[in-house]
Homo-oligomer: A and B are copies of this chain.
């Protein structure tokens, strides 16, 4: 359907269509926009794609996304150095940062334990987590892996491994989303929320 364009337009449409959520129609519209945009704007976009691949790496301490050896949070002395939050993915860390609810440091596992997919403890950054807890002066570890089966299993594994260490272990709470109507909340969440009920 797009082969009525010159080859270089078709090439861009094809490459844009590979992006998630971008169909051929949208890719066509984006390509037309880029075609009519200034050369400077197009070059900036093109450049920033390559720069991303060249510059972004994992922070050597917490394994979040970073432009430098250490990420901005690990370099920030105003963060609470004794408080460590364990998350699955860089995106989880970004979500927590957006919420503004956490002022400590992070540890990004880069995945969860999933024996079915062949992901064991040595495949995610667990050894690095345990080393940090030994060597850094961590007082509390908040386990904020997801509430999927794998997320829960990973949380349990970490809890077991740290059972006898002199560090406080907590789990991020689950329950009914704020602003949510009970009737739209799934049964598993409702059950969990009921079990976790607490005094005022």
Number of chain A residues whose Cβ lies closer than 8 Å to a Cβ of chain B: 52
**Restricting to A67-101, which residues have a CB under 8 Å from any CB of B?**
67-68, 71-72, 91, 93-94, 97-98
B46 touches A8 (CB 8 A): no
| One of B22, B35, B52, B91 near A8 (C-beta < 8 A) | B52
A91 to B33, CA, bound (A): 12
Does the CB pair A65–B20 fall under 8 Å?
A: no
* Min CB gap A67→B, angstroms: 4
Tell yes or no: A116 within 8 A of B by CB: no
User: A51 near B: Cβ within 8 Å?
Assistant: yes
Residue pair A72, B6 in contact (C-beta under 8 Å)? yes
CA distance A146 to B158 in the complex (A): 65
A7-B67, A35-B52 known; A41 and B18 CB under 8 Å? yes
In the complex, how many angstroms separate the beta carbon of A59 from the nearest chain B beta carbon?
9
Q: Report the separation of the CA atoms of residues A71 and B6 in the bound assembly, to the nearest whole angstrom.
A: 8
Interface code A46-71, partner B: CB below 8 Å = 1, 0 otherwise?
11111111111000000001111001
